[in-house]
Amino acid sequence: MSVAEKKFVPVMITPFNLKAKVDFDAVSRLVDFYLAAGVKGFFANCLSSEMYSISEDERLELTSYIVRYVNGRVPVVATGSFGLTIEDKAEFSKKIYDTGISAVILITGHYANVDDSDEVLVRNFEKMFRLTGSMPLGLYECPAPYKRIITADVYRTLIASDRLVYHKDTSIELGKVKEKIDIAKDSHREFYDAHTPNAMYSLQLGAR
């Protein structure tokens, strides 16, 4: 696969039946629909998937099902940073990585409180990196529990660890997006702009 290939990687919704259980038949149809549309990957167990509303077991079961159904046709990534402590987050990340996903996504707002400095954020991420061995990781500036935007300086520091292979950006401001794209350019790291109005411009700048 060309490193310059542009991709659409949808965040997956989770269909439920009338008993409020995951409807796996509908999940299969959704995967088929996306693949027919030409997607190049899936982001399972994300905010759109109701990841905050389902249990740990359901997160793992849903992700595992998607991985098995996709069956290697495209990569699948999923959020792993759940738990009260960094150690808890690392433990759950190992569990969800064992489902067969290509990378574990870390929610930026899970690694520092809203009033914490970037130094605290970086220190917690570095601890997470140490606790997860060589596991491929990614970042997502998820709007919940609050939207923690990664600055260009923090991004540069974090990718120097060579642990990050994926970044989902919600900066919105194209100038800030460009700063981070420039840092990730010409590397194996995949940078995705989640703000649709930026799509054409960020792709031209080098985003995936």
Residue-wise pLDDT for 57-102, tens only, equals 999 999 999 999 999 999 999 999 999 999 999 999 999 999 999 9
From 65-79, 85-99, 118-132, 186-200, the region with the lowest mean pLDDT? 186-200
> How many Å apart are CA 31 and CA 62, to the nearest integer?
12
Domain 24-205 has CATH 3.20.20.70: yes
pTM: 0.92
Residue 153 has pLDDT above 80, yes or no: yes
> How many Å apart are CA 119 and CA 5, to the nearest integer?
34
Show Cβ contacts of residue 2 under 8 Å, excluding neighbours closer than 6 positions.
none
Q: What's the longest Cα–Cα distance across the chain?
A: 48
> How many Å apart are CA 125 and CA 31, to the nearest integer?
32
158 Cα distance to chain centroid: 15
